């Protein structure tokens, strides 16, 4: 008995750990039937409620039907019945981890229709860049944190989410709301940056930098993490154009398309920053691209905080900007102007515009049709992750079930934006 | 910005396929006849001088009471040359259908499903024209202007025999 026990253990060890005993895993596959498997809509890894109807053969995925729409809130229909300013709260809820970027994207589209584009005060443009880049950082932090957690790295999740919370606290100071900011207005922004805010932002960025460094050390050379990411979910560079991929997904394949560089808006042409690109288009590249983009956003923030000029924060145009509160309460003209802007809404001349900015996930487009009334005739959002998610119907087949989790995580599908 | 795209289009399609072109707020647009929809799209993708190979967006606009009622709107981009263009094609309510672009750009698949879901415009030859945002049992097309905003359609699945 005493003799046989270690031998039995030894043989078990070989079965469990001895991969070398099995020459070719494919030889070991037994014939299996195709089995349907539903991932989601409420599955811990399907953040944002989405269902992936898989057809699996053993562990291998044969087909993947991604079913979205669970978070459809009729954004377009509601927008057609709202005044131009009332749409801002709806845009907050598109990509709800980077609401400022949606606010800015929508405001720019309407400003182009109003021909106000060149009249936005410089300080307002800098503020938009600053809050937008903070939002981009929170967006990437969320994606990396959730992606790491789903692969078992819970510590990283806490490090990064803590950083996101510090940044959201700063945005809360600016806008009054932690998440649904509605901070941008047509023609500018609603309030100036609070006293001492820039110093607090620099301090928080320092802390976030440490958190990113910790996450980097914990993940980038971690074998468990790399095994799930390297060479998994490869997107071909040739697929980028045909599938309309943008943002970190497109850049991970090596296409250096970034709206901030290729079609600079606001004051992005005044900053020095790089566009990181990957080489293979796998999950690990998407992870690296996002990690590097956080650093680049911090570079932009650093320069913007140094360069930001003093001045007004909203355009001086009574057609679009509300009068000062002091005026509203003391003069009849300002009170009427205030009343008209709130009740009727501002009037946008008839026309059509497709305006695009770099959102957290890629090209965030607004296609707006105005017929000259106080409400948009059509207000379409071109959601970047709608196109980015669609490509998974091509990428997933051939992978293992377990690969769905990191691949889906690194696409960073945000239900609010995808389903609208 | 990208006047060359419109010039090339007019040059190539002289037979009346291009109904109207214009430029507004820096956006170049062209209105094409629906029968030439796919042909124009393929030309833009393959023409080496333009190389508009990136599918950006596809949606519809309900222009009620104008005729034709629906406009199918396509946005294209050239990563290489940085041109952008908007293509529009009017389809009447009675025969709301147009050729699919899925063989041209696989990414058009979901966008066309959404346009069908929201506006009821059919894309002929689409491999899988199902609703995408609404549930399959939904009646009507919610973004049509005659679909009331307040209308509710709760999804109730009753067991057979229950009241």
Q: Could you tell me which chain A residue has the CA closest to the CA of B58?
A: A382
- Averaged over B113-126, what is the pLDDT? 91
Q: B111: which 2 tokens?
A: 């966008």
What is the number of CB-based contacts under 8 A between chain A and chain B? Answer: 101
Residue A397 has pLDDT above 80, yes or no: yes
Instruction: Give, in order, the Cα–Cα distances in Å from B11 to each of A240, B4, B23, B40, B145.
Output: 29, 10, 17, 12, 36
Residue A48 has pLDDT above 80, yes or no: no
Q: Residue A365: its chain B contacts at CB < 8 A?
A: 56-57, 75
Write the pLDDT tens digit of every residue in A130-167.
999 999 999 999 999 998 988 888 899 999 999 999 99
CA A337 to chain centre: 37
Residues in A lying within 8 Å of B, measured between beta carbons: 68-69, 72, 74, 76-78, 80-81, 112-113, 115, 239-245, 255, 257, 262-263, 351-354, 363, 365, 367, 369, 377-378, 380, 382, 386-387, 390-391, 393-394, 419-420
- Averaged over A93-116, what is the pLDDT? 90
Is residue A340 exposed (0-12), middle (13-18) or buried (19+ Cβ within 10 Å)?
Answer: middle
Shortest distance, CA A419 to any CA of chain B (angstroms):
6
Question: How confident is residue A110, by pLDDT bands cut at 50, 70 and 90?
Answer: very high
The kind and range of the H/E element at A201 are: helix A197-219
CA angle B2, B3, B8 (to 5 degrees): 105
CA angle B147, B115, A102 (to 5 degrees): 90
Write the pLDDT tens digit of every residue in A290-320.
999 999 999 999 999 998 998 888 888 888 8
Write the pLDDT tens digit of every residue in B60-87.
999 888 888 899 999 999 988 888 899 9
Shortest distance, CA B38 to any CA of chain A (angstroms):
15
Q: Using the beta-carbon criterion (under 8 Å), do A391 and B107 form an inter-chain contact?
A: yes
Q: What's the pLDDT at A2? A: 46
E-strand ranges in A285-388 read 351-358, 363-370, 378-382
Q: Using the beta-carbon criterion (under 8 Å), do B82 and A263 form an inter-chain contact?
A: yes
Write the pLDDT tens digit of every residue in A337-372.
888 888 888 888 898 999 999 988 999 999 999 988
Q: What's the pLDDT at A345? A: 81
Q: Residue A77: its chain B contacts at CB < 8 A?
A: 142-143, 147, 149
Residue B140 has pLDDT above 90, yes or no: no
Q: What's the pLDDT at B26? A: 82
Which member of B56, B84, B105 has the closest CB to residue A382? B56
Shortest distance, CA A118 to any CA of chain B (angstroms):
12
Chain A interface mutation, best of B30, B79, B102, B126, highest count of A Cβ atoms under 10 Å: B79
The whole-chain average pLDDT of chain A stands at: 86
Q: Which of A45-49, A89-93, A161-165, B5-9 has the lowest mean pLDDT?
A: A45-49
Q: Using the beta-carbon criterion (under 8 Å), do A77 and B27 form an inter-chain contact?
A: no
Q: Residue B147: its chain A contacts at CB < 8 A?
A: 77
Shortest distance, CA B145 to any CA of chain A (angstroms):
9
Could you tell me the domains of chain A?
75-315+347-419 (1.10.645.10)
Residue A6 has pLDDT above 50, yes or no: no
The whole-chain average pLDDT of chain B stands at: 86
- B3-124: CATH number: 3.30.460.80
Q: A314: which 2 tokens?
A: 């909203």
The kind and range of the H/E element at A134 are: helix A122-150
Q: What's the pLDDT at A222? A: 85
- Averaged over A118-137, what is the pLDDT? 92
Q: Domain residue spans in chain B?
A: 3-124
Which member of B107, B143, B147 has the closest CB to residue A387? B107
Q: What's the pLDDT at A31? A: 67
Report the helix count and the strand count for chain A, using DSSP H and E.
19, 8
Q: What's the pLDDT at B75? A: 92
Q: Using the beta-carbon criterion (under 8 Å), do A353 and B135 form an inter-chain contact?
A: no
Tell me which DSSP letter residue A189 carries.
E
Shortest distance, CA A388 to any CA of chain B (angstroms):
9
Name every residue whose Cβ is closer than 8 Å to that of residue B91 and which is 6 or more positions away in sequence: B34, B68, B69, B70, B71, B72, B97, B98, B121
Q: Using the beta-carbon criterion (under 8 Å), do B82 and A262 form an inter-chain contact?
A: yes
Shortest distance, CA A152 to any CA of chain B (angstroms):
32
Q: What's the pLDDT at B25? A: 85
- Other CB atoms within a 10 A radius of the CB of residue B112 amount to 26
Which member of B27, B29, B79 has the closest CB to residue A255? B79
Residue A7 has pLDDT above 90, yes or no: no
Q: Residue A394: its chain B contacts at CB < 8 A?
A: 106
Shortest distance, CA A242 to any CA of chain B (angstroms):
5
- Averaged over A92-104, what is the pLDDT? 90
- Other CB atoms within a 10 A radius of the CB of residue A327 amount to 14
Q: Residue B111: its chain A contacts at CB < 8 A?
A: 244, 386-387
Alpha-carbon distance of A131 to B4, in angstroms, equals 37
Shortest distance, CA B155 to any CA of chain A (angstroms):
13
Shortest distance, CA A178 to any CA of chain B (angstroms):
28
Alpha-carbon distance of A230 to A417, in angstroms, equals 28
Name every residue whose Cβ is closer than 8 Å to that of residue B65 and which is 6 or more positions away in sequence: none
Q: Using the beta-carbon criterion (under 8 Å), do A390 and B109 form an inter-chain contact?
A: yes
Chain A interface mutation, best of B133, B142, B148, highest count of A Cβ atoms under 10 Å: B133
Chain A interface mutation, best of B110, B138, B155, highest count of A Cβ atoms under 10 Å: B110
Q: What's the pLDDT at B162? A: 64
Write the pLDDT tens digit of every residue in A195-245.
899 999 999 999 999 999 999 889 888 888 888 888 888 998 888 988 999
Q: Residue B30: beta bridge partners?
A: B21, B87
Q: Using the beta-carbon criterion (under 8 Å), do A354 and B75 form an inter-chain contact?
A: yes
Per DSSP bridges, beta strands A34-39 and A51-57 are antiparallel
Residue A53 has pLDDT above 70, yes or no: yes
Which member of B55, B111, B149 has the closest CB to residue A242? B55
Residue A15 has pLDDT above 80, yes or no: no
Q: Where are the alpha helices (DSSP H) in B91-148?
A: 108-119
- Other CB atoms within a 10 A radius of the CB of residue A204 amount to 17
Q: Using the beta-carbon criterion (under 8 Å), do A243 and B107 form an inter-chain contact?
A: yes
Q: What's the pLDDT at B2? A: 66
Q: What's the pLDDT at A254? A: 87
């Amino acid at each position: 008995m005493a003799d046989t026990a270690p031998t039995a253990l030894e043989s078990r060890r070989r079965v469990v750990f001895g991969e070398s005993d099995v020459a070719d895993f494919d030889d070991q596959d037994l014939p299996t039937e195709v089995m349907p498997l539903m991932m989601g809509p409420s599955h811990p890894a399907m953040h944002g409620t989405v269902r992936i109807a898989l057809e699996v053969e053993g562990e291998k995925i044969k087909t993947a039907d991604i079913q979205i729409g669970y978070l459809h809130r009729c954004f377009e229909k509601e927008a057609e019945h709202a005044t131009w300013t009332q749409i801002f709260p709806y845009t907050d809820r598109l990509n709800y981890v980077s609401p400022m970027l949606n606010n800015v994207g929508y405001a720019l589209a309407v400003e182009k229709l109003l021909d106000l584009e060149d009249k936005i005060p410089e300080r307002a443009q800098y503020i938009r860049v600053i809050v937008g880049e903070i939002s981009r950082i929170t967006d990437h932090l969320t994606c990396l944190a959730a992606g790491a957690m789903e692969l078992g790295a819970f510590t990283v999740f806490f490090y990064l989410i803590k950083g996101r919370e510090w940044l959201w606290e700063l945005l809360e100071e600016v806008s009054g709301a932690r998440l649904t900011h509605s901070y941008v207005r047509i023609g500018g922004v609603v309030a100036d940056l609070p006293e001492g805010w820039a110093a607090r932002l620099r301090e928080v960025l320092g802390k976030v930098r440490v958190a990113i460094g910790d996450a980097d050390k914990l993940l980038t050379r971690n074998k468990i993490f790399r095994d799930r990411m390297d060479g998994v979910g490869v997107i071909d560079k040739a697929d980028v154009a045909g599938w309309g991929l943008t943002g970190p997904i497109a850049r991970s394949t090596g296409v250096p398309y970034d709206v901030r560089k290729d079609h600079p808006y606001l004051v992005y042409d005044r900053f020095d920053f790089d566009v990181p690109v990957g080489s293979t288009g796998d999950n690990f590249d998407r992870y690296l691209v996002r990690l590097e983009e956080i650093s680049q956003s911090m570079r932009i923030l650093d320069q913007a905080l140094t360069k930001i000029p003093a001045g007004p924060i909203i355009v001086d145009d009574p057609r679009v900007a509300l009068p000062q509160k002091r005026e509203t309460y003391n003069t009849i003209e300002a009170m009427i102007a205030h009343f008209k802007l709130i009740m009727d809404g501002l009037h946008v001349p008839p026309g059509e515009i497709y305006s695009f900015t770099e959102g957290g996930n890629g090209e965030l487009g607004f296609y707006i049709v105005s017929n000259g009334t106080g409400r948009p005739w059509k207000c379409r959002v071109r959601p970047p992750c709608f196109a980015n998610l669609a490509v998974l119907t091509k990428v997933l087949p051939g992978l293992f079930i377990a690969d769905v989790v990191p691949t889906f995580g690194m696409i960073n599908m945000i239900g609010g934006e995808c389903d609208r | 910005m990208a006047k060359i795209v419109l010039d090339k289009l007019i040059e190539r399609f002289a037979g009346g396929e291009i109904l109207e072109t214009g430029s507004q707020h820096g956006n170049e647009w062209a209105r094409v006849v629906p029968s030439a929809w796919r042909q124009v799209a393929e030309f833009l993708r393959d023409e080496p001088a333009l190389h508009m190979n990136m599918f950006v967006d596809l949606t519809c606009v309900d222009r009620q009471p104008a005729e034709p009622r629906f406009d199918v709107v396509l946005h294209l981009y050239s990563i290489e040359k940085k041109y952008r263009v908007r293509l529009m094609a009017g389809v009447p309510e009675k025969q709301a259908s147009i050729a699919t672009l899925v063989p041209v750009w696989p990414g058009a698949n979901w966008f066309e499903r959404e346009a069908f879901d929201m506006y009821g415009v059919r894309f002929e030859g689409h491999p899988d024209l199902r609703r995408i945002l609404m549930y399959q049992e939904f009646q009507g097309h919610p973004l049509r202007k005659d679909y009331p905003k307040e209308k509710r359609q709760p999804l109730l699945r009753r067991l057979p025999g229950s009241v």
